[in-house]
Amino acid sequence: MYSLIASIGLAFTLPLLSSAWIKSPVAGPIRGFNYDSTTADDFRTRFTTAYKLAGVEGGFNSARLYTMIAPGASAANPAPLLDVFQPAIDTKTSLLLGLYCSAGDAAFNNELSALKTALGQYGDSFKDLVVGISVGSEDLYRTSVKGTPMDNGAGDSVDNIKRYIGLVRQILVADGRGFDKTIPVGHVDTWQIWQDPTAAGALISTVDFIGLDGYPYWQNASADDVGAFTDGLAAVTNTANNQGGVPVWVTETGFPNAGDTRGPAVPSTANAAIFWQNIGCQQLFGKVSTWWYILSDGPAAPGKPSFGITDAATNVNAMFDLKCGS
């Protein structure tokens, strides 16, 4: 198959095209949720629910995504565009786009193809719709000493992520509408990775934002152990400040309502509420751009806790009171 990478004339030593980080076009700290890939109708339902959540009406109007490709990709159609753009436009939901980058160049080539399709179909809306593009999610963690035993799938290298970031930026340049100067491109990983000199030093100078995933639950910390989260956030923020003040966004955090107990980390609705108040309300909302994990998900299973704040994608009444200070 003719490679998109070849077709736009990019070598693997492509310059990264960024000497100073690009600020998101959306003013103020963002609040939203993470969303798995689904259909246009389901995205529209979920975005509407998020916007109407009781106690925080209108406050959560952004969506973080993991891929540009819709479910159902095939050999005949390897890069169908994720049906998220029209629902986002209809519901005034901003998007933190994601490109999956732990499956090799051929798979990433499909992500790039879908990005080009999105620019072609919805490019005029990108200015107000897209707050950033994340190249990868926890790819370095999955190949790290701590991440490999978790067996959460393939990861990738710093060099590949830097190269992929360059490819994304080149597509934005080629589009010709100036998105290379207005849409920040970054990477999402765990706080431990952003503190690793071999990763942080090489990657932070490349990105326009640092996406931080932080889950005290997976560190066997209780829901009321504020330091288990804030210490990691502070450490990454300090590292970012030493690298020129690259913005730090919290791209995933939350506490499960059900699932396996991990020492002091006990999943329950009550503990999910404590974490929302202690971390979300007191540390993040209105201060740091944040995408909570997650609006709704399936029931808990062994090794797979449930983090959803609602019990159904259509339910605007969360399992606990979302109003800060409650």
- State the catalytic residues: 138, 252
Amino acid 11 reads: A
CA-to-CA separations, 28 to 5, 35, 210, 282, 285, in angstroms, rounded? 35, 21, 16, 17, 11
Strand, coil or helix: what is 39?
Answer: coil
Strand, coil or helix: what is 2?
Answer: coil
**What are the tokens at 98?**
């994601």
DSSP label at residue 285: T
How many whole angstroms separate alpha carbon 66 and alpha carbon 60? 18
How many whole angstroms separate alpha carbon 56 and alpha carbon 159? 41
Cα 201 vs. chain centroid, distance in angstroms?
21
CA-to-CA separations, 320 to 80, 120, 264, 296, in angstroms, rounded? 37, 42, 21, 13
